[in-house]
Amino acid sequence: MTSVLVVIPTYNEALTIGKAVDRTRTSVPDAHILVVDDASPDGTGALADELAELDDHVHVLHRGGKQGLGAAYVAGFGWGLARDYDVIVEMDADGSHQPEELPRLLHAAENADLVIGSRYVPGGRTVNWPYKRQAISRIGNTYTRVALGTALRDATGGFRAFRAAALRELDIESVASQGYCFQVDLAWRAVRGGLRVIEVPITFVEREQGESKMDGKIVREALWRVTRWGVEHRARQLRGLVGGSRR
């Protein structure tokens, strides 16, 4: 890996952003970090600016307001692609994703287009996660697997490493999904595009500070979009079968 960018979106993460940056810099010293802040009222953006002033491996992208997780990642990916990073990582600021596991993802990215840090492959696990959240996640991933016919165990996971060339193929500017659905959207595009997608086990730890951004709107969006994609996918398969039988 010649250059790695870790994109960390933030909204009211003043309590956690410093630790997230420090742990990431320690785990992967050569990597650069881009904090994408959506004008956090709690001053997260200003704290990120202070970190950037002290470390030339830390950068900050300020956005005008809360525009959603998916849009933040798209902006961060675009920033990284414009600067020719080879691998671009997405990671939460709240401590749920362990920066110490980044080297495992980056090693796997040497032979893959997209590496997903997975809670649900052998060796993966969750720690201190509320039962309701875990149930939503497991049910959502099972539904996604069945609806889309994909073998991915953790299509909603948000700890990932992309080869830059793969992101360019995914047409990220056209992605409108948010939350869980953003993760499914990119993974599904990669699978449909014939890219090499692999999952490596991670330990997902429930955040100890701050508040989760998950809400019913995000879950409903994921259900609606995945259902639509699944119907479209099955329709394409059916048309292919009918077309093949006529020949």
pLDDT of 245 over the 60 cut:
no
Considering only CA atoms, which of 226, 142, 246 is closest in space to residue 184? 226
pLDDT of 238 over the 80 cut:
no
The 10s digit of each residue's pLDDT in 16-64 is 999 999 999 999 999 999 999 999 999 999 999 999 999 999 999 999 9
pLDDT of 69 over the 60 cut:
yes
**Residue 207 has what pLDDT?**
72
pLDDT category at 142 given cuts 50, 70, 90 is: very high
Please provide the average confidence, as pLDDT, over all residues in the chain. Answer: 90
Measured between alpha carbons, how far is 171 from 115 in angstroms, rounded to an integer? 18
**Residue 77 has what pLDDT?**
97
Please report, for the chain, the start and end positions of each structural domain, with discontinuous segments joined by +: 4-246
Question: Which CATH topology does 4-246 take?
Answer: Spore Coat Polysaccharide Biosynthesis Protein SpsA; Chain A (3.90.550)
pTM, rounded to two decimals: 0.90
Measured between alpha carbons, how far is 175 from 188 in angstroms, rounded to an integer? 12
Span 98-106, average pLDDT = 97
Residues 157 and 198 sit within 8 Å (Cβ to Cβ)? no
DSSP letters along 38-52, please? ---TTSHHHHHHHHH
Measured between alpha carbons, how far is 15 from 136 in angstroms, rounded to an integer? 26
Residues 199 and 238 sit within 8 Å (Cβ to Cβ)? no
